[in-house]
Structure 1
Amino acid sequence: MSSNEATATVGVTNESQPKLPTRIGWALVIGPACWLGPYVGTSVTLLPAKIQQLAPNDKVTLVATFSAVAMVVATIANILAGALSDITRTKHGKRTPWIVICSILSGVLLWLLSAAPNIPVLLGVWAVYQAVLNAVVAPMIAQLSDRVAPRWRGTISSFYGIGMAFGNYGSGIIASQFLGNVGTGIQVLAAFAVIGGILSAVIAKEPSNLDEPRAEFSLDTLKQNFMFPTKNCRDYYLALAGKILMVTGQYVIVGYQLYIFTDYMKLDDKATAGSVSIMSVILMITGIVFCAIAGPLADKFHRLKAPVAVTTIMLGVGAFFPFIEAKPWTMLAYALVAGIGMGAYNAVDGALNVAVLPDPKTAAKDLGIINMANTLGQVFGPMIAAGVINILGYRAIFPAETIICVIGGLLIMMIKRVK
């Protein structure tokens, strides 16, 4: 899969894992479905709806503000949680305690979010939720590096991608049913966060790591475990930059999906709920199908870079449809193209990220930094969209996504270590 394959393996080699680790695979379907689903369902649909209830005249600017606060908190939390999880030693392993405890806390915070009476409280709870959520995400994805041999990473990455598809798009189906009762909708998603996080950890059944050696505390140890990598990291940062641009491009549209239907396409509440639901179904089905296909194919042909780059560009191509006409069918066409692209992307993106890790000993921290791309993109996208909408109107956000995604795809193609 890569010229650095042996270096990228932490404790698991192709020889020691002759069979596909399906137990970990199923855990990585449930896990991301149940952290990403509540997050996306809230941030994309129910949080904007609640902001609209509390401050309708300032909703566009406030969505961008909430995204900016989320970016700052989540960026710090991702690195710290990943690094602390790397050095955690318990009888339940180093990832499980973080996943279980922080899944429970994220559910509690979502419940508090549902009851927030004003914008300042809503913003404060949202910020704390971002910190806790990212303490679930970084340890969870690190299991791909910890416990999966290189020969299976494309396939197990596709399990993770299928979970992301369920979470990303299934959440839209659920959230759209609660536009008239936002608080209850957020509470339903909170229950998914708690149950799914615990269930994922139980299925993964991480072994004890109490016998794993502890590094002596020193300045070098601190730098290794908590700082951005500085050696053997050219491809790592290209993967990071490409992912940031892909997610940014996606959230230029997705971050304002609700307002695109209501303000750009002039739909009423009932038509908006129906359109969001149909769009989510299309994204979910295409995402799952193409994710299931792409991962095993990547393992068979030993190709990761090109699929990630091409699917990133596909996302930008889909944005042409709603640019052409302000009609609901164009967003459904976008959903079809984007769903195919995102499904294939999610299947191989995780394996690509593991293949470009600078140091497998700090896998969770370095994957946590790469995962910042999700957070940063989900923040930059709405911020860029808000600026474009305020200056040029809604129609201009669609070519903006195209440009961003094309640049992201080209950066990924510049990676040298992986085919």
Structure 2
Amino acid sequence: MSTTEQTTAVPWTGTIPNSAQPRRPLRIGMAVALGILLVTGPYMGVNAVLLPARVAEIDPEGKASALAVIAAVSMVIATIANIVIGALSDLTRSRWGRRAPWMIGGSIGTALTLAAVPFVDTIGGLITLWCVLQLSLNAAIAPIIAVISDRVAPQHRGTISSIYSLGFSAGIYGGQIVGAQFLNAGSLGFFVLAGLILLAGPVCAILMREPSSLDMPKRSLDRRALLHSFALPARGARDYYLALIGKLLIVGAKFAISGYLLYILTDYMLLGGDDTARYISLVSLCLMLTAFGMGAIAGPISDKIKRRRLPVVIAAGLIAIGAILPFFNASPWALIAYALIAGIGMGMFNSVDQALNIEVLPDPDTAAKDLGILNLANTGGQVLGPIVAAAAIAVAGYQGIFVLACALAVLGAIPILLIRSVR
């Protein structure tokens, strides 16, 4: 009998000690990696490429402001969705487990929403649709991340987080590459990416074989239980909130640039349509390959040296260095240099940060809800970056984005350094 079979044959208590899992649960790592790849890839292909292009078609004069409004409204909905859906996932009791039903439902809802985007021709309609998308998107993402807390022992979390980060990096950057191929055929791109995201929940659920949660203690939904399940963590949560703030700022630094990559190339570097598509693909490829390379080794090294904070701080520094380079030169090579340097930092960050997040959780029984709140730093950073980038553009032009991204990364390292409970 395999180690994974041994750990899933016993009643599921919400976490696994080191003694019960001597070997790495690689199948679970593969499940969460493929799941997050199939969720984030299509989403980023739309969010970073096809959505800005659609906004530019509808409102060419006010495209930057319109994109920022969509991002702001999305952040509010994502905040609510992460907390509520994470808590409902923790409370779910079914023969298919706590997480699988939400993964499947979320991927179906997100696919249907993406497929509807080409039929919307107003900014108001896009805002409404993007709110619906954030609900379903976070219904898929929050449970996938919680699986690492549920079913991976602490001694393996760096490695499994590293595997997870490979899927995440492939999705974030590979999605932009795929999206760029449909820059001149937007409707087809939305349909293709919707089809891919439809696979996310079922593929992840089948691979991870989540055990039934029917034997887990059921909670009566009285006032106290509701507060415990849905409220923000209060006790022993200092490091938890430091990790949240640091993550939000570092992710915001990443997406301040990627959220406006299309406009940076067309309006700041003055490239034409064919060159723009080529450089979006090239920048995304560089980000993906460097993130892949570092992501594959950073997690296991973190497990070996038993340190989480140091790799995350180094990662923030690399992102800051890469982000400032295009400030000095409005040439595509500066973006390539950014992609190579910041990509290494992003790979390190993606692989180790998730392990750090799990180790600062105040209560493993509410892991999905608490990780959902931490995941707000991902979804929130994806919308915070474009919002503050829009303000930077208004004040200092497109050059302001790069100064802003550098500053966010540096500021994000400070809360991570202040964490006490994790080395």
Deviation at 1:18, TM superposition (A): 1.2
**Are 1:135 and 2:139 counterparts?**
yes
Task: Give the 3-state SS of the residue equivalent to 2:15 in structure 1.
Answer: coil
Q: In the alignment, what sits opposite 2:7?
A: none
Q: What does residue 67 of structure 2 align with? A: 63
Query: Which of 339, 351, 355 is the matching residue for 1:351?
Result: 355
Query: Which residue is equivalent to 2:107?
Result: 103
Distance 2:362 2:111 in 1: 34
The Cα shift of 1:313 comes to 2.2
Letter in structure 2 aligned against 1:308:
V
CA contact (8 A) 2:291 2:348 kept: yes
CA displacement 1:363-409 (0-9 Å, x = unmatched): 00000000001121111111111111112111121111111110101
Shift of 1:95: 0.1
Tell me the alpha carbon deviations over residues 144-170 of structure 1, each in whole angstroms, 9 at most, x when there is no partner: 000000111000001110010110000
1:85 to 81, 84, 89: 89
State whether structure 2 residue 248 is matched by structure 1 residue 241.
Answer: no
Residue of structure 2 equivalent to 1:6 = none
Tell me by how many angstroms 1:53 deviates. Answer: 0.8
Which of 267, 270, 276 aligns to 1:272? It is: 276
What's the CA shift for 1:120?
Answer: 2.1
Give 1:117 shift. 2.6
Query: Which aligned pairs between 1:135-214 and structure 2 lie closer than 5 A?
Result: 135-214=139-218
Whole-Å Cα distance in 1 between the matches of residues 384 and 46 of structure 2?
17
Count of residues in Structure 1 that have an aligned counterpart in Structure 2: 411
Aligned to 2:32: 28
TM-score by length of 2: 0.96
Unaligned runs of at least 5 residues, structure 1: 1-8
Task: Report the CA distance between 1:415 and its aligned residue.
Answer: 0.4
In the alignment, which residue of structure 2 is the partner of 1:293?
Answer: 297
Q: Distance in 2 between matches of 1:69 and 1:38?
A: 20
User: What secondary structure sits across from 1:221 in the alignment?
Assistant: helix
- Give RMSD over aligned pairs: 1.0
Residue 259 of structure 2 corresponds to which residue in structure 1? 255
Q: Which amino acid aligns with 2:103?
A: I
* Structure 1 range deviating more: 157-166 or 213-222: 213-222
Secondary structure at the counterpart of residue 20 of structure 2: coil
Give the letter aligned to residue 293 of structure 1. Answer: I
> 1:199 and 1:143 mapped to 2: Cα distance?
14
In structure 2, runs of 5+ residues without a counterpart are: 1-12
**2:186 and 2:342 mapped to 1: Cα distance?**
27
* Residues 201-210 or 396-405, more deviating: 396-405
Give distance in 2, aligned partners of 1:289 and 1:23. Answer: 21
Taking structure 1 as the reference length, the TM-score comes to 0.97
Conserved in 1, the CA contact under 8 Å of 2:324 and 2:405?
no
Q: Per-residue deviation at 1:217?
A: 2.5
Q: Is the 8 A contact 1:313 1:408 kept in 2?
A: no
Contact 1:260 1:394 in 2 (8 A): yes
Q: Given that residues 104 and 200 in structure 2 are in contact (C-alpha distance below 8 angstroms), is that contact kept between their aligned partners in structure 1?
A: no
1:338 deviation in Å? 1.2
Q: What is the deviation of 1:361?
A: 0.7
* Counterpart residue number, 1:3: none
- Residue 377 of structure 2: aligned partner: 373
Alignment partner of 1:229 is 2:233: yes
Letter of the structure 1 residue corresponding to residue 159 of structure 2: T
Superposed CA deviations along residues 225-266 of structure 1, whole A, max 9, x for unmatched, are 001001000000000000000011112111111000000000
Identity %: 46
Amino acid at match of 1:72: V
**What is the CA–CA distance in structure 2 between the aligned matches of 1:79 and 1:136, rounded to whole Å?**
13
> 1:305-331, CA deviations, whole angstroms, 9 ceiling, x for partnerless residues?
110111012111101210110000000
Greater shift after overlay, 231-240 or 101-110? 101-110
Separation (CA, whole Å) in 1 of partners of 2:126 and 2:258: 21
In structure 2, how many angstroms separate the alpha carbons of the residues matched to 1:48 and 1:216?
Answer: 45
Q: Which residue of 1 aligns with 2:17?
A: 13
The alpha carbon displacement at 1:126 in A equals: 1.1
Q: Residues of 2 paired with 1:285 and 1:186: CA distance?
A: 25
The ranges of structure 1 where at least 4 consecutive aligned residues each deviate by more than 6 angstroms after the TM superposition are: none
Question: Distance between the aligned counterparts of 2:48 and 2:410, measured in 1?
Answer: 23
2-structure distance, mates of 1:11, 1:266: 52
CA distance in 1: counterparts of 2:265 and 2:79, whole angstroms: 30
Aligned to 2:286: 282
Taking the aligned partners of 1:59 and 1:380, their CA distance within structure 2 comes to: 17
Measured in 2, the distance between the counterparts of 1:12 and 1:383 equals: 40
